[in-house]
Structure 1
Amino acid sequence: MTALQEYRRLEAIGLWREHAEDQRREVIVALGDVSLVMSSPSGEAIGHWSLPAVERRNPGKRPALYAPAPDSEEELELSDPEMIAAIERICAAIARTRPHPGRLRLYLAGGAILVGVLAAALWLPDAMIRQTVSLLPPAKRLDIGHQLLAEISNIAGRPCGASSGRTALVRLASRTYGPDNPPRIVVFPATIPDTLTLPGDIVVASAALAEDYETPEVFAGYLLAERTRSEATDPVEALLRHAGIGATFRLLTTGDIAAEPIHAHAATLLSHDTMRADESVLLDHFAEVGISSQPYAFAQDVSGESVLGLIEADPLRGQTTEPVLTDGDWVSLQEICTS
């Protein structure tokens, strides 16, 4: 889902609070392609909301009150009519992509016809998976991502949540994925694989990537490798291939997926071996964001033997690079699970 063209990079002043008991503070609200970003007047990023998840708490009233999720204590107050109109139009467009109960029988009938056509044409299961993935709206992708994240929390424990560390994660996401629509990064204690990508632009990362290394370049390298893998394999496609044709057909025809395949896939993600990212594409990403590939390479293999390509073809070799994070942000990120 992309924001309407006339609203690209729209900015307004708003009042934001992180917790219900906090005093509201003035922030600059920027509307991106699929995100709402809050910054302090000095330009410090303090919040990043996904537009498909944003909900209005007082429809029809002014000033408008928004939250990033139904059960969130975080809240944003807006009075600017143009910004409110932009958010309402985009949220309305997202709502139109969601399944409507009144159309369920039509979808089921259409699905039955589709099955007959597919059977007659000997359509392979992977073709149905690709079709389902291509038709899935962003709001449903985010919903599935939140379901997987909840299951990972049930298995691995609650994610780390120090507020200063979350701010540092917002900056790290922008640095490694670019400032336009970076993913939400969620850090868990060091009991999970290094990184995982969930549907809805959610990246799960192990706290060990911050706790076990001296500089943020290594963490950035792991995120770039995850970015490379997720570009090669859609996380929804990975879920459906694991869940099977029955779950795929249900998602295609009803817009829902059962809890069992969600739980099973979350357990698989936490136990699988991480695939190696395509080296040439990964090096292109390092060059794109201006980060040296050598710290990540030596974190993979201290001898350097198995990662010679990343070392010798380092696009920033011998150059002075912009810091990935400030020292203060890096310390906050290293302490995200201890604060």
Structure 2
Amino acid sequence: MTALKDYRRLEALGLWRERPEDQRREVIVSLGEATLVMSSAAGDALGHWSLPAVERLNPGQEPALYAPAADSDEELEVGEPEMIAAIERIRTAIAKSQPRPGRLRLALSIGFGLGVLAVAIFWLPEAMIQQTVSLLPQAKRAEIGRQMLSEITQIAGRPCGAPTGREALMQLAARTFGTDAPPRVVVVPATIPDTMTLPGNIIVASADLAEDYETPEVFAGYLLAERIRGAGADPIETFLREAGLAVTLRLLTTGEVRNDAIHGHAARLLSREGVPVSDTALIDSFAAARISSEPYAFARDVSGETVLGLIEANPMRGSAATPVLSDADWVSLQEICAS
């Protein structure tokens, strides 16, 4: 050790006692190979202390007081500055060379803490959302859907409710999706995205889909597209991802959702255009419903250039399709917002 080599021949006088009740005696203090040696004037060794174990009893003060261990009764007083500096330097060098389990524990603790933090940030929210979505009963989904619908209608206006129009709207839903649990379709008068899916099997549609087109196949096509969109992204899951972990945890543990979270999501839905759906999925849906895809395609693009697939693959081309609605029912649906 470099520090020890520098001071190997260093000696100095000191005062040493073996027990507290003993009289202190003058000794010669010398540095050995990792030891501090106390000798009498005659050269008799009185004590050998291991330098790694030596403790400074009065740090920063002089003369310096040392002990061979923290709990030892022995005591050595050294006043020679050069000897004090040598002892301190060697003790510091030895301490730095010793393994420090505390550092390993600290590193492991930090690593574990970072791992827990990473899990909390990246894994826990996703797992919490999936758990909540899988456990949420249909009745609770329907309740949240009704709450969202209430918030939407407060922003966009009351749902259109002409009696004959509502009847025609239910017929359109049954004709498009079948009579086995068709979605509840709600028409809103204000300018909103064409359609949006809410929890509880609810589809909100713009009144433009009834008022601006000549045939009900267009309205039916937008409903089919929205059903595909809703099947690809569970509306409850979408809501929870946007609402955050706190809302998800509260819903999972108490079954309650803050109204401000629902209001915020409703506002975002009203300003968000629906994501595109594939032509293949749409064609399959039109075929299952036995509805022509051409009116819907031309409603999206009058030129037909961007919807050529829907036109060319029309599943009802050359077939006699059952009317979506009678002329009278379609007129009633077009006037659903008139009252």
TM-score of Structure 1 vs Structure 2, range by shorter chain:
0.5 to 0.7
Deviation for aligned residue 1:127: 2.5
1:46 corresponds to which residue? none
For the pair 1:283 / 2:283, whether they are aligned, the reply is: yes
Q: What's the offset of the Cα at 1:312? A: 1.1
Per-residue deviation, 1:278: 2.3
Q: Which amino acid aligns with 1:281?
A: A
| Alpha-carbon separation, structure 2, partners of 1:182 and 1:275 | 22
* SS state at 2:316 partner: coil
Measure how far apart 1:318 and its partner are: 2.2
Paired residues of 1:177 and 1:227 also in contact (CA < 8 A): no
Aligned CA-pair RMSD: 1.9
Offset at 1:121? 11
Question: Which range moved further: 194-203 or 272-281?
Answer: 272-281
The answer to whether structure 1 residue 138 and structure 2 residue 132 are counterparts is: no
Question: Paired residue for 1:225?
Answer: 225
Structure 2 residue aligned with 1:189: 189
Q: Structure 2 CA distance, aligned partners of 1:286 and 1:310? A: 10
SS in 1 for 2:319: coil
Taking the aligned partners of 1:120 and 1:333, their CA distance within structure 2 comes to 50
CA separation in 2, counterparts of 1:214 and 1:194?
Answer: 16
1:320, CA displacement in angstroms? 1.7
Deviation at 1:190, TM superposition (A): 4.0
Aligned residues: 224
Q: Distance in 1 between matches of 2:223 and 2:297?
A: 13
Partner of residue 244, structure 1 = 244
| TM-score, L = length of structure 1 | 0.63
Separation in 1 of the partners of 2:242 and 2:285? 28
Alignment partner of 1:123: what SS?
helix
In the other structure, the counterpart of 1:297 is 297
Report the AA paired with residue 267 of structure 2: A
**Letter paired with 2:310:** L
Instruction: Report how far residue 277 of structure 1 moved.
Output: 1.4
Deviation of residue 124 (structure 1)? 4.0
After superposing on structure 2, the runs of 4+ consecutive aligned residues of structure 1 that deviate more than 4 Å are 118-122
Separation (CA, whole Å) in 2 of partners of 1:284 and 1:323 = 18
Offset at residue 245 of structure 1 (A): 1.4
Give the equivalent residue in structure 2 for 1:211: 211
Superposed, 1:66-81 pairs within 5 Å as none
Residues of 1 paired with 2:122 and 2:270: CA distance?
35
Distance, in Å, in 2 between the alignment partners of 1:319 and 1:156 is: 40
CA distance in 1, matches of 2:121, 2:322: 55
2:178 — aligned with what? 178
Aligned in 2, Cα 1:308/1:120: closer, same or farther, shift over 3 Å?
closer
- Shift of residue 179, structure 1, vs aligned partner: 0.9
Q: Which amino acid aligns with 2:292?
A: S
Structure number with bigger Rg: 2
Matching of residues 163-174 of structure 1 within 5 Å: 163-174=163-174
Tell which deviates more after alignment, 199-208 or 276-285. Answer: 276-285
Deviations 1:87-135 (A, max 9, x none): xxxxxxxxxxxxxxxxxxxxxxxxxxxxx9x958973422321221111
1:104 aligned partner: none
Q: Which amino acid aligns with 2:133?
A: V
Given that 1:210 and 1:219 are in contact with CA atoms closer than 8 Å, whether structure 2 keeps it comes out as: yes
Separation of aligned partners in 2, 1:210 and 1:190: 13
Contact 2:156 2:190 in 1 (8 A): no
Letter in 2 for 1:288: A
The change in CA–CA distance for 1:121 and 1:247 in structure 2 (over 3 A counts) is closer
Show the counterpart of 1:330. 330
Letter in 2 for 1:186: V
The one-letter code matched in structure 2 to 1:325 is: L
Distance 1:212 1:266 in 2: 25
CA deviations over 1:292-333 (Å, ceiling 9, x no partner): 111101111111111111111111112221100011110110
Cα 1:300–1:122 shift into 2, 3 Å: closer
Matched residues in 2 for 1:299 and 1:253: separation?
Answer: 46
Quote the Cα distance in structure 1 between the aligned partners of 2:310 and 2:120. 49
Secondary structure at the counterpart of residue 306 of structure 1? coil
> Take 1:149 and 1:220, find their aligned partners in 2: how far apart are those partners?
21
Partner AA of 1:271 in structure 2 = S
Find the aligned partners of 1:248 and 1:256 in 2 and give their Cα distance. 9
- Once residues 268 and 169 of structure 1 are traced to their aligned partners in structure 2, the CA distance between those partners, rounded to angstroms, is 26
